[in-house]
Structure 1
Amino acid sequence: MSTAEIRAHSIEAALAYLDAFESGDVEKMSDVLTADVVHTLAMSFDGGVEPSMVFVGRDEVLGFFRGMLPQVSRRDVIDRRVTVSADGDVVFVEAVGDAVLADSGAPYRNVYVFKFECADGRVRRLTEYANPVSAHKALNVPLG
């Protein structure tokens, strides 16, 4: 497979994952994940460098989203800017999350950088960076 084909498959997997997230379709999210995927929420709520959450394996990743997605009535990932590594295996997506919380109707906006590490057109590792202060204000996640 050429580098151009690898790049195209990696971009396709990353964007398919984000599209499935937006629509709340966990099965479509599953379609682009490897069985041993690792999803890391890299933002820290205590000022440290350790990630706030790490999910290992497709079942654990999707279990998190099955619990989280119903809490958000609208999830838009907008203003996407895509950058791909030279070998095509790593895709970065910078974006703005524009969501509405289901229980209160309150808006939740945050800025994100998603790092998708892909293999054979599937996501094997996803690291998600976001502003913890925005999450704190919208979701009442404790800081400090």
Structure 2
Amino acid sequence: MEGRMASDDERRAANRAVLRRAIAAIGTGDSAALAGLYTDDYVLDLPYSDPPKRLEGMAEVMEHVAPQLGTFVFTLSLTDLHDCVDPDLLVAEYTSDGHVSTTGRPYRNTYIALWRFRDGRICGVREFSNPMIAAEALTPGDEQAHGHATGRTGTVAGENR
């Protein structure tokens, strides 16, 4: 591709690969790997969180996300990936399956998100999930009395175009 502009299909393919690496890094709690995949001015928009959040810039995003990577221990699976007319926009569907380390309660959520890319890096994500599932998992319950595995893995289960 040196000396020429990438075609829309090439950009989509490259962006899909970056998204897959991000899903894997989130699933393994690898904040160092995550930082290299995003632009410095990355925006994370969580309109369904309680309260809704719009985090701007990697410093603010990592300040919010890094502690959660140790609290929410899960497998993150990409279930569908949809191309858009804009090669720098992908719609991703994914699920989490795990538990909260502080309560031992299960955490299983379903997400859909708009992922935006610029120059081969993620510049924005607008993610929708059920905040009640996270709130319930964070609430101490009987599960604390039982032992839970703490492994993490990130997977790409399947996808459609």
TM-score scaled to structure 1, two decimals? Answer: 0.85
Alpha-carbon RMSD? 1.5
Contact 1:21 1:75 in 2 (8 A): no
Deviation at 1:44, TM superposition (A): 4.7
2:89 aligned with 1:84? no
Deviation at 1:93, TM superposition (A): 1.0
2:119 aligned with 1:113? no
2:34 pairs, out of 9, 13, 29, with: 29
Residue 97 of structure 2 aligns with which residue?
Answer: 98
The structure having more radius of gyration, on CA atoms, is 2
CA distance in 2, matches of 1:58, 1:138: 26
Unpaired runs of 5+ in structure 2? 1-5, 140-161
CA distance in 1, matches of 2:20, 2:113: 11
Percent identity of equivalent pairs:
27
2:63 aligned with 1:63? yes
* Structure 1 segments of 4+ aligned residues over 6 angstroms from their partners: none
Q: Which amino acid aligns with 1:26?
A: S
Residue 43 of structure 1 aligns with which residue?
Answer: 48
2:11 aligned with 1:19? no
Q: Which amino acid aligns with 2:58?
A: R
Contact 2:95 2:109 in 1 (8 A): yes
Aligned residues: 134
TM-score scaled to structure 2, two decimals? Answer: 0.77
2:6 aligned with 1:6? no
Deviation at 1:34, TM superposition (A): 0.3
Residue 142 of structure 2 aligns with which residue?
Answer: none
Deviation at 1:36, TM superposition (A): 0.3
CA distance in 2, matches of 1:41, 1:86: 24
Q: Residue 86 of structure 1: SS of its match in structure 2?
A: coil
